[in-house]
Chains A and B, each alone.
Chain A
């Protein structure tokens, strides 16, 4: 991939076009949104306190719209105003220097046929017709093997770049897709919690939706905070339809309603966030839109007027179809390689709710996961920033040990989590659940899922996990 200078942005406002409009307060770093103590930016640049809200409004009154501000002040000032910490190059710096990519598999992937205890007689006996042929699994040692579709994962395992955390889950299993996925994405088991475990981190880190980016039309709960919702990027380039005048007016619409009703304010905030995201990520997406660092041929969904390209999966949510996961990870790779100011990415694949005729469906989906994730890790390996990227793959629950009479399996409990990437210490973590001690037909969890999150907070994002997880969970040593 070659990086070129970004083309001039036709939507950028020059000072001659400026309209005297107020600046959207939604883009201001509100005092409440700042973490206690000096921010990273303040710590690095002593003697230059950030602009106060009052100063900013005064300045803005003479300058105008948000797009214009970015152009007029340059990226450094933009970051100081909107984005949280900047490093010496004026870039919005990742908090921990590392990037996290969460891969959500919707529907409940069958973990027992993903990491297979094929030498355990209880596996063959318990699974019956669902049991995989031991001759076909990819042996990992100790009597375990990977599903035959996971050839790339096997290579990463051999290269010690893949960690497998066994028996991950939480107490009091919930067999509902939605309740279980809510628990996984919120990181809270006790009550229905509206914010995501990374959304709360987003709230605490600053006011920029850029720090956590999901690929797809909507933002998953995972990246939804109380004050900040992570950005959602459509596949393909991110170009605004209006001219400079319209963009300036759009920007001021984003600031209309802070003192008004809640949903009006939220709607205003989403428009302001769009401009923020387009300003910073649009140029990168523009110049990389035809690059595919994953070397995975796929039609550009943006080039077709069909929703088939981003068809939604059956039972369990998530995007699915063809090479949708590879397309999403390709965009993420481009953003990371271009040093986008984003610490956390979210991608997804659906269709894992295999109540009937499981074998061909799971094989197809796992092959897609394998190809996409392996190509992603490979694409980042030659790059110094890329090598600091960690990928975690999870799903809402495992499936029942005994299959049903439809050639499928029903909702279960504990499952495996994969963590991959150059920084990862490959190998086994957690304890495999015993097939001899099931609870109501299900494998029992041995590692709390928040231990995985605690490790990611600590080792990838460089923050203390406690405040985001409502409790203390022992880390897992995969990083």
Chain B
């Protein structure tokens, strides 16, 4: 396989490659690069781990202080606590962006991003950055393992307990929020279960609690419905049994591979033939790392459809640009590049998806507002970037140098002509390359 194929892999399985990384991957070949990326999952990430963890308040302490302030009518105390949360939230987002920029284990950070989209959870409701941080670390550490274990952990983690109201549920008239989204969005997909399954499963999740004093999951047998429910035709009583059942269902064996394929290759429905190729092996062990490897090794992953199959998500766009332009993670942490504003203007606020449906794909990211946000960002980044790879090239080679810099396999004839007209001005050339259709696509 050629360099264009390896470049495609490095963009989809990560955030694009530097010239050195591309050369190394090219030297060892496509198969060895897939093996390297997937076996590194769950292993160390010296690059990202060099980014200092955000300093976030302890949730139990926050709850105690907030309760105290509310009780004593201390308005300024409550506002100070809110401001502290806002500061922590900014640090949290910058920390993750810096990790993605610094990573030397790019598939691990990419998988974390994809899992955030798969189990979308929003800080606007969860409120405490410490809970979002904990969930994010969970995606990173447990993500490559088995999908059933991952789902069990995500479900009992504070962020999800708060997000889908499990934390307040009771035995009589349980709320259906978590049970529904578990089946519809996280594991099986719409149309593969009945409404009665949702309502039955909701009873099984009663008694699930977040203990605000310890910030840990706890089970309250007193409010748990003891009635045996039938979910997908199987008798169950506990939430853990429901999760076990739905993650091992035949529908899930198609839904999960389709979801990952859709974000790595091109959007497909669970009924797509390519899913039939991935599903049997995945159904055997529910290994996410194994599924990723199978996706990258599938012939359709490098097909023309896949090469034009995805638009970069805003986070991929921003991180990819920072890495390509050699802007150090420290600059991200310094917060001067307005990266969070850029992401918001493009429609992807990290840790705050628009709904439990997560973010849509492709043309969803191609709005006029997002086009302007990309152009604005290109100006800010290029002003801060090391442009020597383009500027040091002879004017006649600068268009090619920009392609190599940005991990773009080739420019269309028209883009090349446009960039050629800017070759006297390396900064403008790079800005235009960053907003070109070829770079906007993934």
Find chain B residues with CB under 8 A from A260 CB: 308, 412
Interface assignment of A222: CB less than 8 Å from any CB of chain B: no
Interface of B (DSSP majority class)? helix
Q: Are B309 and A249 in contact (CB under 8 A)?
A: no
Neighbouring B residues of A246 by C-beta, 8 Å: 422, 428, 431-432
Chain B residues with CB under 8 Å of A404's CB are 173-176
Contact A405 B163 (CB under 8 A): no
Interface size on A, residues (CB 8 A): 80
Judging by beta carbons under 8 Å apart, are A315 and B353 in contact? Answer: no
- Choose among B367, B415, B437 the residue that contacts A232 (Cβ–Cβ < 8 A): B367
A233 adjacent to B368 (CB under 8 Å): yes
Q: Is B125 an interface residue (CB 8 A)?
A: yes
Nearest-neighbour CB distance to chain A for B208, whole angstroms, equals: 12
**A249 close to B432 (CB less than 8 A):** yes
In the assembly, what is the distance between CA of A108 and CA of B176, in Å?
A: 14
- Asked if B149 CB lies within 8 Å of chain A CBs, one says no
Q: Is the CB of B441 within 8 A of A267?
A: yes
B438 contacts A315, CB within 8 Å?
no
B201 CB to nearest chain A CB (Å): 13
- The distance from the CB of A216 to the nearest CB of chain B, in whole angstroms, is 7
Interface string of B412-428 (1 = CB under 8 A from A): 10110010011000001
* A-side contacts of B376, CB under 8 Å: 241
Are the CB atoms of A256 and B173 closer together than 8 Å? no
Interface flag for A264 (CB, 8 Å): yes
- Cβ of B174 and Cβ of A405 under 8 Å apart? yes
A214 to B358 CA separation, bound complex (whole angstroms): 20
User: Which candidate, A39-47, A70-78, A176-184, is the interface stretch facing chain B?
Assistant: A176-184
Most buried by A among B86, B175, B185, B198: B175
Measured in the bound complex, the distance between the Cα atoms of B241 and A112 in whole Å is 35
Return the CB mask of A311-350 against B: 1 if under 8 Å, else 0: 1111111101100000000000000000000000000001
CB-based nearest A residue for B311? A263
C-alpha spacing A219/B346, complex, angstroms = 11
A283 located at the interface, meaning its Cβ lies under 8 Å from any Cβ of chain B in the complex: no
The smallest C-beta distance from B246 to any residue of chain A, in angstroms, reads: 16
Residue B133 CB within 8 A of the other chain: no
A85 at the interface (CB under 8 A from B): no
Assess whether B370 is interfacial by the CB under 8 Å rule.
Answer: yes
Is A209 touching B176 in the complex (CB atoms < 8 A)? no
Known: A310-B344, A356-B175, A408-B165. A229 touches B125 (CB 8 A): no
> Does the CB pair B180–A273 fall under 8 Å?
no
Query: For residue B370, which residues in chain A have a CB less than 8 angstroms away from its CB?
Result: 217-218, 232, 270
Binds B, one of A159-167, A301-309, A470-478: A301-309
Whole-angstrom CA separation of A355 from B164 in the bound complex: 8
Q: Hey, what's the 0/1 contact readout for A255-273 against B, CB within 8 Å counting as 1?
A: 1110011111111111101
CA distance A257 to B410 in the complex (A): 13
Determine if A266 and B173 form an interchain contact, defined as CB atoms under 8 angstroms apart: no
Question: CA separation between A217 and B359, bound complex, in Å?
Answer: 12
Q: Which of A262, A270, A316 has most chain B Cβ within 10 Å?
A: A270
Indicate if A411 sits at the interface (CB-CB under 8 A). yes
- Considering the chains assembled together, what is the distance between the CA atoms of A314 and B357 in angstroms? 11
- Main DSSP-derived SS at the A contact region: loop
Measured between alpha carbons, how far is A252 from B122 in the docked complex, in Å? 39
Q: List residues of chain A with CB within 8 A of the CB of B441.
A: 263-264, 267
User: Is A253 on the interface with B (CB-CB < 8 A)?
Assistant: yes
B414-A22 in contact (CB<8A): yes
Interface pair B437/A406, CB less than 8 Å apart: no
Inter-chain contacts of A381 with B (CB < 8 A): none
Are A218 and B347 interface neighbours, CB within 8 A?
Answer: yes
CB distance from B438 to the nearest CB of A (A): 7
> Which residues of B350-389 have CB atoms within 8 Å of chain A's CB atoms?
352-357, 360, 362-373, 375-376, 378-379
Please tell me if A102 contacts chain B, counting CB pairs below 8 Å.
no
- CB-contacts of B43-85 with A (<8 A): none
Are B437 and A264 in touch, CB under 8 angstroms? yes
Tell me the smallest distance from the CB of B15 to a CB of chain A, in Å: 18
Report B-chain residues with C-beta under 8 Å of the C-beta of A229.
363, 366-367
Q: Which residues of B are found within 8 Å of A479, using beta-carbon distances?
A: none
Q: Does B251 contact A (CB under 8 A)?
A: no
B142 at the interface (CB under 8 A from A): no
Chain B residue nearest to A348 (CB atoms) is: B354
* Most interface-central of B363, B368, B432 (chain A CB within 10 A): B368
* Minimum Cβ distance to chain A for residue B183 (Å): 10
* Residue of B86, B176, B378 most packed against chain A (CB within 10 A): B176
Residues of B within 8 A of A242 (CB): 375, 379, 428, 431
Let me know if A355 and B375 touch, CB within 8 A.
no
- How many angstroms from the CA of A321 to the CA of B440 in the assembled complex? 30
**Quick check: is B343 within 8 A (CB to CB) of the other chain?**
yes
Chain A nearest CB, measured from B179 CB (Å)? 10
* Count of inter-chain pairs, beta carbons less than 8 A: 237
A265 nearest CB neighbor, chain B only: B437
What distance in Å separates the Cβ of B60 from its nearest Cβ neighbour in chain A? Answer: 21
Q: A408 contacts which chain B residues (CB < 8 A)?
A: 165, 175
User: Would you call B354 and A313 a contact (CB within 8 A)?
Assistant: yes
- Determine how close the nearest CB of chain B comes to the CB of A61; give it in whole angstroms: 14
Query: Which of A255, A277, A278, A406 has the most CB atoms of chain B within a 10 A radius of its CB?
Result: A406
Interface residues of B in 151-185 (CB under 8 A from A): 163-165, 168-177, 180, 184-185
Query: What residues of chain B lie closer than 8 Å to A209, measured between beta carbons?
Result: 368
Residues in B with CB closer than 8 Å to A109 are: none
Task: Answer yes or no: B318 CB below 8 A from chain A CBs.
Answer: no
Q: Which chain B residues numbered 185 to 224 have a C-beta less than 8 Å away from chain A?
A: 185, 190, 195, 198
CA distance A329 to B141 in the complex (A): 44
Q: Does A403 contact B (CB under 8 A)?
A: yes
Counting CB contacts under 8 A, is A250 at the interface? yes
Residue from A179, A266, A305, A357 in contact with B341 in the complex, judged by beta carbons closer than 8 Å: A305
A232 x B124 contact (CB < 8 A): no
Residue of B nearest to A238 (CB): B372
Instruction: Look across to chain B and name the residue whose beta carbon is closest to the beta carbon of A408.
Output: B175
Q: Does A142 contact B (CB under 8 A)?
A: no
B338 at the interface (CB under 8 A from A): yes
Q: Does B4 contact A (CB under 8 A)?
A: no
Q: Which residues of B contact A245 (CB under 8 A)?
A: 428
Complex CA–CA separation, A320 to B349 (angstroms): 13
- Contact call A405/B367, Cβ cutoff below 8 A: no
Interchain CB contact under 8 A, A252 and B418: yes
Smallest CB separation, A474 vs chain B (Å): 30
Q: Can you give 28 contacting A-B residue pairs, CB < 8 Å?
A: A176-B190, A178-B184, A218-B364, A219-B367, A224-B363, A229-B366, A232-B369, A232-B370, A233-B368, A240-B372, A246-B432, A249-B418, A249-B428, A250-B432, A253-B418, A256-B436, A261-B304, A263-B441, A306-B86, A307-B340, A307-B343, A307-B344, A311-B349, A311-B352, A320-B124, A353-B177, A402-B173, A406-B168
- Give the interface of B toward A (CB within 8 A): 86, 89-90, 122, 124-125, 163-165, 168-177, 180, 184-185, 190, 195, 198, 304, 307-311, 338, 340-341, 343-347, 349, 352-357, 360, 362-373, 375-376, 378-379, 412, 414-415, 418, 421-422, 428, 431-432, 435-438, 440-441
Interface residues of A (CB under 8 A from B): 19, 21-22, 106-107, 175-179, 209, 216-219, 224, 229, 231-234, 238, 240-242, 245-246, 249-250, 252-253, 255-257, 260-271, 273-274, 277-278, 305-308, 310-318, 320-321, 350, 353, 355-357, 402-408, 410-411, 440
> Top 6 closest A-B pairs, CB basis?
A314-B125, A261-B308, A317-B355, A217-B347, A307-B344, A256-B414
| Known contacts A264-B441, A306-B341; 16 further A-B pairs (Cβ under 8 A) | A218-B370, A219-B368, A232-B367, A233-B368, A242-B379, A246-B432, A249-B418, A252-B414, A253-B432, A257-B412, A267-B366, A314-B122, A350-B354, A356-B168, A405-B175, A411-B176
